[in-house]
Amino acid sequence: MEFVWDSIPNVQTALTESSTKMTYPKLIVVLFLTPWNPTSKSTARSFLEIVSSGEFPNVKIFFVNIEDELAKCKSLSIHTTPAVQFFWGGKILTIRRPDWDDDNKFVGTLPKEHWIELIHYIFDACSRGETTMFSRF
């Protein structure tokens, strides 16, 4: 399965729809990648496998090439790849990890199984009304 690069305007449209339409997925995952970076490629492969598994029909995943969207990505504090942001109902989630400052993104990669575990956790936590995610990763 191949993916198509998404644009920031497409992501922004999805975030608006997520906050206003009951039928649109509430959880949106945005991957900020570069096509030449091996770590970005690994993260993209993991998420492509997650998408193709069909395990998360209520989650929308976007792939953004930061080189094509450099100015906008910088305004979102995306300076390195891979970076992954999670949104619920159109609002960005806070990530809290041990020994890290709170942030609105993960930088780096994880094994696919950890991404799956994290998506399940975030979906469940947000369904209960939580907006700060506590991660052991």
pLDDT tens-digit map of 58-86: 899 999 999 998 888 888 889 889 999 99
What is the pTM for the complete model shown?
Answer: 0.91
pLDDT at 102 over 70: no
CA distance 34 to 68: 9
**pLDDT score for 27:** 92
The residue extents of the domains of the chain are 8-134
Fold for 8-134, please state it: Glutaredoxin (3.40.30)
Average pLDDT, the chain: 88
Across residues 82-101, what is the average pLDDT?
85
Residue 108 pLDDT level (bands cut at 50, 70, 90): confident
